[in-house]
Amino acid sequence: MSSHGAAGKTVLVLGAGVGGLVTASILRRRLPKRHRVVVVDRERHFHFQPAYPWVMLGHREPDDIRRPLRILEKKGIEVLEAEVLGLDPAKKTVATSQGARPFDYLVIALGADLAEEKVPGFKESALNLYTLAGALRIRERLPRFQGKKVTLLISSTPFRCPAAPYEAAFLVRDFLQANRSPAAVEVYTPEPFPMPAAGPAVGRALLEMLRARGIEVHTEHKVTDIAQADGRISFDNGTKVPYELLIGVPPHGAPRAARESGLVDGSGWIPVDPRTLATRHERVYALGDITSIPIAGGKSLPKAGVFAHHQAEVVAENIVADLRGLSSTREFDGRGWCAIEMGSGRAAFGSGNFYDQAGPKVNLYSPARHWHWFKTAFEKWWLWKWF
């Protein structure tokens, strides 16, 4: 049922990360003014999170990678700074800390919440790689580090940007070497190999790159707790290892409002149509990190900004088509890419199709300077394009 020729409708976009921002921007550009586009986010600023590792090393300042969300109002997008408290798809309302908000179309792009509390001792012991504050704390601690080993810990899966912890390991190793520190770098992960959703070939290649740079990777190690008093990490396989400087990826989970709405399934995330991102509720979509999309091989589509971006384009175009009384034709094809910083002005590059029925077909290209410049240019283009 379309809304062609009808009075103005309200499209409510929950979350102003990559997915929500792109969705809202395309909708506002493509829709007549009678339709409202409203973005709800608890933060005042958008942060370009792929740049956190650069902040960690002092290559970026916070103001370089953040933008006030109020800028969107100049484009005609309404911005509501509020916490999302609950979703009722049947009644077409969203409860927020600023009151209830009705909608005609809903786009859930709330991302993944970081749940440090799920690992006892994480908050007290680890520097959180996935927050701006954590990146700044790493930047403060790293130059003064006099110990023998820096440990990177991946708490659990899934986590957003599957390459980020390995990218951080490369960058920390490069930083230590450049500063003539003898300290080693090690990684502990519950994964069987790095970036398993990209397939074993990519995982093996990345492992070789890490080990070639002297970075030790301990796979299939799932943390149970971190004891700050005696500086030890305990794993479910009985292993206990000491740490000196600990950089961590915290557990991720769907935001409480989504969990309590009945939208999530056994995966703990929102199931959607892999091609259209539609949920089981009419005119309710979910995209990006908050979703769970099964792919071949028993894995799920990785949680990454590149996927959220392309999914947002699909959702926005299909809402526009519906409001114009046309059939929805855009589909998300499961393609994505990732540039992995190696340090010294070089990056590796992976790209491919994660929806291939035989399993993800992903190529990992050797580190080169042009991939680093590509990533740098993409950051600048992205922030210019959407702000």
284 inside domain = yes
- Domain closes at, from 229, 252, 275: 252
pLDDT at 1: 41
* Pairwise CA distance, residues 142 & 127, whole Å: 11
Instruction: Looking at the structure, tell me whether residues 189 and 227 fall in a common domain.
Output: yes
Give me the number of domains the chain comprises.
Answer: 2
142 inside domain = yes
Instruction: Looking at the structure, tell me whether residues 187 and 93 fall in a common domain.
Output: no
Instruction: Looking at the structure, tell me whether residues 239 and 304 fall in a common domain.
Output: no
* Pairwise CA distance, residues 199 & 202, whole Å: 6
Instruction: Looking at the structure, tell me whether residues 119 and 228 fall in a common domain.
Output: yes
Q: What is the pLDDT along the chain (387 residues), one digit of tens a residue?
A: 444 446 899 999 999 999 999 999 999 999 999 999 999 999 999 999 999 999 999 999 999 999 999 999 999 999 999 999 999 999 999 999 999 999 999 999 999 999 999 999 999 999 999 999 999 999 999 999 999 999 999 999 999 999 999 999 999 999 999 999 999 999 999 999 999 999 999 999 999 999 999 999 999 999 999 999 899 999 999 999 999 999 999 999 999 999 999 899 999 999 999 999 999 999 999 999 999 999 998 999 999 999 999 999 999 999 999 999 998 789 999 999 999 999 999 999 999 999 999 999 999 999 999 999 999 999 999 999 999
Half-sphere exposure of 204 (CA within 13 A, CB side): 3
pLDDT at 257: 95
Instruction: Looking at the structure, tell me whether residues 119 and 240 fall in a common domain.
Output: yes
* Pairwise CA distance, residues 336 & 354, whole Å: 8
Instruction: Looking at the structure, tell me whether residues 247 and 152 fall in a common domain.
Output: yes
Prior bond to 182 cis, omega within 30?
no
What the block records as the tokens of 272 is 């959607």
* Pairwise CA distance, residues 132 & 287, whole Å: 23
323 inside domain = yes
What the block records as the tokens of 315 is 């959702």
Instruction: Looking at the structure, tell me whether residues 192 and 216 fall in a common domain.
Output: yes
Instruction: Looking at the structure, tell me whether residues 272 and 209 fall in a common domain.
Output: no
| Domain ranges, residue 241 | 115-252
372 inside domain = no
17 inside domain = yes
Instruction: Looking at the structure, tell me whether residues 82 and 132 fall in a common domain.
Output: no
pLDDT at 6: 63
* Pairwise CA distance, residues 37 & 50, whole Å: 26
Closest CA to 381 of 314, 318, 330, 309: 309
- Domain closes at, from 200, 225, 252: 252
Predicted TM-score (pTM) of the model is 0.95
* Pairwise CA distance, residues 139 & 126, whole Å: 14
What the block records as the tokens of 112 is 């993944």
Instruction: Looking at the structure, tell me whether residues 173 and 228 fall in a common domain.
Output: yes
Instruction: Looking at the structure, tell me whether residues 258 and 215 fall in a common domain.
Output: no
Instruction: Looking at the structure, tell me whether residues 140 and 241 fall in a common domain.
Output: yes
Task: State how far the alpha carbon of 307 is from the alpha carbons of 97, 153, 182, 274, 312, in Å.
Answer: 29, 25, 38, 11, 8
pLDDT at 2: 46
What CATH number does residue 59 fall under? Answer: 3.50.50.60
